[in-house]
């Protein structure tokens, strides 16, 4: 456990003791032995436990099944800070030095982070677009279409109704032209509020 974590634990313990009259909120360090993500609990070797003696059922999310907020799933062998909340033996994991997953929810927005994956909401829209590459590919397609459109318009302008080469071609070709596409710019398709890389 880092020096800052120990100082935080000492400060919290100091504040709890200054309240007097036997009010004591135990805060201590420990080491995560295992995690049950389905139950949202961890088994921890507390600093006061004898070696090989573990405290099971320590809640991972201080406000279980919270509608909004943030919490993390600690990794096994991570060092942690735990506290008794709402009475003796009701332990909550407050902080760990290593997480396998982080979750957060604010309003209708959710995020889940784990090694090499960041998922927004349910992830149903797939991965984020590489905007610079997409813009380049769209511009290539637009350039090819514009080339075809220009050739078509040149053909229509050169068309002579009534000539031997135009037999059976509709007369509307003399007036039919197609406008070219406007090139896509990055700002047309990029949402700058979500970034990745």
Going residue by residue through the chain, which has 197 residues, state the pLDDT in tens, using 9 for 90 and above: 567 777 777 777 666 655 554 555 688 999 999 999 988 899 999 988 888 889 999 998 766 556 688 889 999 999 999 998 877 778 899 999 999 999 888 888 889 999 888 888 888 888 788 888 899 999 999 999 999 888 888 877 666 655 656 555 555 555 566 788 888 888 888 877 777 66
Same domain, 112 and 143: no
CATH code of the domain in which 71 resides: 2.40.50
Count of the separate structural domains present in the chain: 2
Question: What pLDDT does 18 receive?
Answer: 55
Q: Are residues 45 and 68 in the same domain?
A: yes
What per-residue confidence (pLDDT) applies to 159?
61
Q: Could you tell me which of 126, 116, 178 has the C-alpha nearest to residue 147?
A: 178
Give Rg (Cα) of the chain: 32
Domain shared by 83 and 18, yes or no: yes
pLDDT at 197: 60
97: left (phi over 0), alpha (psi -120 to 50) or beta: alpha
pLDDT at 25: 63
Query: 103 and 41 in one domain?
Result: yes
Q: Which residue has the tokens 């809640």?
A: 59
Clarify whether residues 55 and 98 are in a common domain. yes
Last residue in a domain, options 69, 95, 120: 120
On whether both 91 and 164 belong to a single domain, the answer is no
**Vertex 54 angle, CA 52 and 57, to 5°:** 160
pLDDT value of residue 21: 46
Q: Is there a single domain that holds both residue 11 and residue 92?
A: yes
What pLDDT is recorded for position 142?
A: 93
Residues 15 and 72 placed together within one structural domain of the fold: yes
62 and 150 share one domain: no
Could you tell me the residue range of the domain that residue 60 belongs to?
3-120
SS3 content of the chain, % helix, strand, coil (to 5): 30, 30, 45
- Would you say residue 25 lies in a domain? yes
């Amino acid at each position: 456990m880092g020096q800052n974590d120990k100082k935080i634990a000492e400060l919290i313990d100091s504040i709890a003791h200054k309240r007097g009259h036997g009010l004591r909120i135990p805060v201590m360090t420990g080491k995560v032995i295992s995690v049950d993500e389905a139950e949202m609990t961890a088994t921890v070797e507390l600093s006061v436990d004898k070696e090989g003696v573990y405290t099971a059922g320590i809640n991972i999310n201080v406000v279980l099944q919270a509608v909004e907020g943030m919490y993390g799933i600690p990794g096994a062998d991570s060092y942690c800070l735990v506290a008794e909340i709402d009475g003796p033996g009701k332990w909550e994991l407050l902080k760990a030095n290593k997480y396998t997953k982080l979750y957060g929810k604010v309003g209708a927005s959710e995020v889940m982070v784990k090694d090499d994956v960041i998922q927004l909401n349910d992830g149903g829209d797939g991965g984020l677009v590489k905007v610079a590459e997409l813009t380049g590919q769209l511009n290539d397609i637009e350039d090819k279409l514009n080339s075809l459109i220009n050739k078509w318009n040149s053909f229509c302008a050169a068309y002579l109704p009534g000539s031997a080469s135009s037999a059976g071609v509709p007369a509307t070709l003399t007036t039919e032209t197609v406008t070219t596409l406007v090139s896509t710019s990055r700002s047309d398709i990029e949402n700058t509020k979500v970034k990745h890389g």
